[in-house]
Amino acid sequence: MVKPMNFNEIKKQDKQQAKKHRNQILAQAKKKQTMLLKDSNDDSLRHRKNTPVVNTYKPDKKLKRDNKKLQKKLQSIQADQNSSQQNIMRLKMKVYNLKQENQTLRDTANGLESELKEATQSRTEDYNTKLELKKNNEGLNHQIGLLNKRNQSLRTGMRHLIKSSQNKQVQRLYADKEKLKKKMEQTKVHLSKLDQRNAELTEKLHQYHNYEIPGQGKGVHRATTQELINELFARIDETRVGEFLSLLPLFNKIDYFLKMGMSNTNTHLRKSELMKDNQQLYGYIRIEGDQLSFIALDGSVFPNPSVLGDKFELQEGEVYRGNYNLGTDKFVINKHYVAANYYRDIASDQVHGKKMSGKISANGFINQFIADHPDAKDILAGKNIEIVSWFKQVSYKRAFQPFGVNIDILDPNEKSGGLIYQRIENVDTDFAFILLEGSHHVNSQIYKDRPAANPDKIRILENASPRELLQMSYDHFKSQATRSLRN
């Protein structure tokens, strides 16, 4: 690049040159004047020798004129010098501007040259890319041609295959049609039976609404709870006990409400003025310190109850019935209701008589489930499932075992709530069901009141059939398998 001009320095140099030139001109003029003076003196001396003395005024006047001419000439020379200096300054300025323009042009030329190189390189790269794309396009066209030939070949083979398999398809469709026809006939028969069963149940419901309790003269729907209970006690005997098996869930609900009141007995006070003499109450035994107390369903507490005739010993948690003697302010127990195991054993005996018909029904629904879910065995095989319930244990096992499930039924009458909690929270347990109607309230409440490490694998239900539990298990593990495939 051109360095910027220092005008002060240029002016200083020009002044020095002008002063030097002026001194040279003055020295030359002075030298010339001295020589002229010397020549004039020499001429005057020679003239004096040859001529008489005359007036010297004229030579002095001529000298002055010459001196003035020299001064004018000097001034003219100085003016020319100043003009020359100004011209030099203008020329230097013009040279500087030209250098600046030249440098700008050079920079522009360099920039244009760089852009030209980049454009040339880019064009070369574009050309190479175009050649590569052309080669790829040719390769793809070749592959497309091969695929078209293969596709044509496959179409030809498919047409031959379709022609050869048409007869088989027609036969298969005909067989499916016969199966559907047969299934439709079976469905019609089943619907007819359901209609007949519905009519029977409707008639029974009508009879129930119009039934009058013997000796009471009132319908069942207007009878009190105690009157209905008394009617049931009047009907039950050893030969008809199987008809009362459906009351077992009612016993569990009673047990549930009894044990709910265990923690709230301090808030219930027996009001003697509301008690009737010989009033009959139901409840359970509780030990407080060394003293036994009878806890009625309404929460009333009767300390130190006695047993009529000492026919049995009182046990904590068992259900009893007794009467309150208003005169002595004592509660006398006259009936003990045995634990649910006894009823379960009776129910097992009743079910055993219908074992074969139950097997046929179970096999039918299992076959239908497999038909609806062909991958059920693959989904459920090897899974560890826990069910908390004291009833339908055989049915639950029968429903799950054909699918390779490791099924375990936890009986709340035999296992404590803490043990049940540990079993269903075990890392080896894949899925668990707690059926409230098939378990004591205390046991199921233990799980609800404690934080669950794996809440997604626990289902708390009022009740459910074996098919419903099987369907929920299949849906649960099927969803897990689907999520695993997506991840």
With bands split at pLDDT 50, 70 and 90, how would you rate the model's confidence at 348? Answer: very low
pLDDT tens column, 287-322: 776 788 888 876 678 888 999 988 888 888 788 889
pLDDT tens column, 192-211: 888 888 888 777 666 666 66
With bands split at pLDDT 50, 70 and 90, how would you rate the model's confidence at 124? Answer: confident
Map out the domains of the chain as residue ranges.
7-128, 248-342, 354-486
With bands split at pLDDT 50, 70 and 90, how would you rate the model's confidence at 353? Answer: very low
pLDDT tens column, 425-475: 888 899 999 888 777 554 555 555 554 566 778 888 888 888 999 999 999
Specify the pLDDT at position 377: 93
Stated pTM of the model: 0.31
pLDDT above 70 coverage of the chain, percent: 75
With bands split at pLDDT 50, 70 and 90, how would you rate the model's confidence at 4? Answer: low
pLDDT tens column, 363-388: 677 888 999 999 999 999 999 999 98
Specify the pLDDT at position 431: 93
CATH number for region 248-342: 2.40.50.640
Choice among 125-134, 240-249, 345-354, 414-423 with the minimum mean pLDDT: 345-354
pLDDT tens column, 5-49: 666 777 777 778 777 877 888 888 778 777 877 766 666 556 555
pLDDT tens column, 129-184: 888 888 888 888 888 888 888 878 878 877 776 666 666 777 777 788 888 888 88
CATH 2.30.30 at 354-486, yes or no: no
Specify the pLDDT at position 383: 94
Q: How is residue 352 written in tokens?
A: 């055993």
Work out the burial of residue 297: count CB atoms within 10 Å of its CB; fewer than 13 is exposed, 13-18 middle, 19 or more buried: middle
pLDDT over threshold 90, residue 333: yes
Specify the pLDDT at position 120: 86
Specify the pLDDT at position 274: 58
pLDDT tens column, 104-114: 998 988 888 88
Tell me which residue of 446, 418, 447 sits closest to 432, measured CA to CA.
Answer: 447
Specify the pLDDT at position 265: 43
Specify the pLDDT at position 386: 93
Task: List residues bridging with 321 in a β-sheet.
Answer: 282, 335
Residues 73-78: what's their mean pLDDT? 86
More confident residue, 1 or 241: 241
pLDDT tens column, 217-267: 566 666 777 777 777 877 787 788 778 877 777 777 676 666 555 544 443
> Could you give the CA distance from residue 302 to residue 329 in angstroms, rounded to a whole number?
9
Specify the pLDDT at position 349: 44
pLDDT above 90 coverage of the chain, percent: 10
> Could you give the CA distance from residue 315 to residue 334 in angstroms, rounded to a whole number?
14
